[in-house]
Structure 1
Amino acid sequence: MESSVDSAGTESQIKTDDLSERVLSQQEQDRLKDDRILVSEFKQQKLEKEAQKNWDLFYKRNTTNFFKDRHWTTREFEELKACREFEAQKLVLLEAGCGVGNCIFPLLEEDLNIFVYACDFSPRAVEFVKQNSLYSPGRCLAFQCDLTKDDLRNNISAESVDVATLIFVLSAIHPEKMQQALENLYRVLKPGGVVLFRDYGLYDHAMLRFKSGNRLGENFYVRQDGTRSYFFSKEMLARLFQDTGFESVVNEYVLRETVNKKEGLCVPRVFLQSKFRRPLTPNSQE
């Protein structure tokens, strides 16, 4: 699973390093306040039941052309290069929600000493990964996986992963199942292993442009294609990880502007970029 953040235009330089959430205009506040109608319980249950089908249809429509390759990950997350104890150590990475490989293949090109577990909710996305010319079973294992179930442990040994990435993935999971997904990640991480996180932040432009009738719950919305998106506050995200047993290393809003040249628009984007660590000492999650 991925989000449509990469398709929105050309991202400009960071607008501000302020760690507070985005300040809304009065018009934006009024619009959110007035949007109190929730999607019916029947439709919400149907969306949950058909979540995998909707993501599979997304990749059927867009194939490998929707997202840009993410060459920024090693710049933003130095752990992808610096977490080895010695130069010859192979880094074991799990990309949870790999999509069609826009993150993993730049990493495989850049670093010859890395092994990647790549999983996605969509079987079609996984097949696209396996069909990529850079895919090599000796360096990468791709498999279909529901992060909210025990699928990870069917493919990855406990305490064997150095780094796990959650990049525009957790927001697509129902809030009631997010903690289960994190618990499953926790179990495959080595003690001291880290989760590198980036996703939609509260009051991102994508949240504010939803029309009335698309709201599933607090900060949770459904797109026209049936895929869903949650928008995180710093506090909610920290609580979610800490309740699972992780230690918070970094948890910050990233405020940027995206320029859509085609439409002549400059819109504010809000992301959360965070790092959480599995403690070295045992706790209740082990």
Structure 2
Amino acid sequence: MPFQVRGQKGRILTSEEAEKLMKDQSLVSNFKQQKLESDAQKNWDLFYKRNSTNFFKDRHWTTREFEELKACREFENQKLIVLEAGCGVGNCLFPLLEDDLNVFIYACDFSPRAIEFVKQNHLYHTERCKAFQCDLTKDSLLENIPADSVDVVTLIFVLSAIHPDKMQLALENIYKILKPGGSILFRDYGLYDHTMLRFKNGHKLGPNFYVRQDGTRSFFFSDEYVAQLLTAAGYEVLVNEYVFRETVNKKEGLCVPRVFLQCKFKKPDRNRIDLTC
């Protein structure tokens, strides 16, 4: 069956896909879920130990997909201050540094090993970027970044790795270092993405939340869920839409539907007048 789109509600499932999701209702035990949460940092550290810097491709598409990375300056030659939350080994960080010479980037990640890989990269220079280990749901970003100082935060395939109960905490911590009027640029896995449908029975942690073989976890977002999450954390939602792609494997004759959610939201301006009062 060809890949179809149903407006803002995401893609239409085939009957086989719908049946598979219906049958997959058993959840991983509470004991194992608690262990996955307590071992989350260790599992991501092991991920980077196994894969080094070779797993993800460099994200040269970010400035194309998010024009704000180029266009959000208030005046010419303004130095843009960016936080890449969940930087991994720098697949987004270093293309941005190469593309824009007038930018300073803070970069943080849950995995200490990932941060070490960032610092070992020949493009890493402390006058242009600062990388540090951080649990977005616990550690205060304010220990490394001044309050109300960041123009743009990139949150790309990061929030999905955090337990749903803690996502709002991460967004609230980011809120503290973002300038009033500053933006968060978000891209992550959308509901019914092919990756979600590939999980076998026994990997489900909760609604739209799964664990991989290596112990890392992934959540799949609907636009409604993201909107509720962001407004609860105090942001204004500017863009909240599905992105549909097809990955074609000509050798195997496969056409794989990919579903992502792409959003832009901002911290309200301080001088905005609330007309509802």
Q: TM-score range by the shorter chain?
A: over 0.9
Q: Does 1:278 align with 2:259?
A: no
- TM-score, normalised with respect to structure 2: 0.94
Match of 2:175 among 186, 206, 212: 186
For residues 142-157 of structure 1, the aligned pairs below 5 Å read 142-157=131-146
How far residue 183 of structure 1 moved from its aligned partner, in angstroms, is 0.1
Correspondence for 1:3:
none
How far residue 262 of structure 1 moved from its aligned partner, in angstroms, is 5.3
Distance 2:262 2:38 in 1: 29
The alignment yields a C-alpha RMSD, in angstroms, of 1.6
How far residue 26 of structure 1 moved from its aligned partner, in angstroms, is 1.4
- TM-score, normalised with respect to structure 1: 0.91
Match of 2:87 among 98, 111, 121: 98
Correspondence for 2:99:
110
Distance 2:251 2:39 in 1: 33
Q: Give the percent of matched residue pairs that are identical in Structure 1 and Structure 2.
A: 73
Distance 1:236 1:70 in 2: 26
Correspondence for 1:246:
235
Distance 1:193 1:264 in 2: 44
How far residue 18 of structure 1 moved from its aligned partner, in angstroms, is 4.0
- Runs of 5+ unmatched residues, structure 1: 1-13
Contact 1:15 1:257 in 2 (8 A): no
Which amino acid is the alignment partner of residue 201 of structure 2? Answer: S
Deviations, residues 230-284 of structure 1 (Å, cap 9, x unaligned): 000000001000000000000000011012355442100000000011000379x
- Runs of 5+ unmatched residues, structure 2: 273-277
How far residue 224 of structure 1 moved from its aligned partner, in angstroms, is 0.1
- Provide the aligned length of Structure 1 versus Structure 2: 270
Correspondence for 1:123:
112
How far residue 151 of structure 1 moved from its aligned partner, in angstroms, is 3.1
Contact 2:4 2:12 in 1 (8 A): no
Deviations, residues 192-247 of structure 1 (Å, cap 9, x unaligned): 00000000000000000100000000000000000000000000001000000000
Correspondence for 2:246:
257
Q: Does 1:199 align with 2:177?
A: no
Structure number with the bigger relative contact order (C-alpha 8 A, sep ≥ 6) is 1
Distance 2:144 2:271 in 1: 23
Distance 1:260 1:165 in 2: 30
How far residue 64 of structure 1 moved from its aligned partner, in angstroms, is 0.5
Distance 1:207 1:172 in 2: 13
Correspondence for 2:214:
225
Which amino acid is the alignment partner of residue 61 of structure 1? Answer: R
Which amino acid is the alignment partner of residue 106 of structure 1? Answer: P
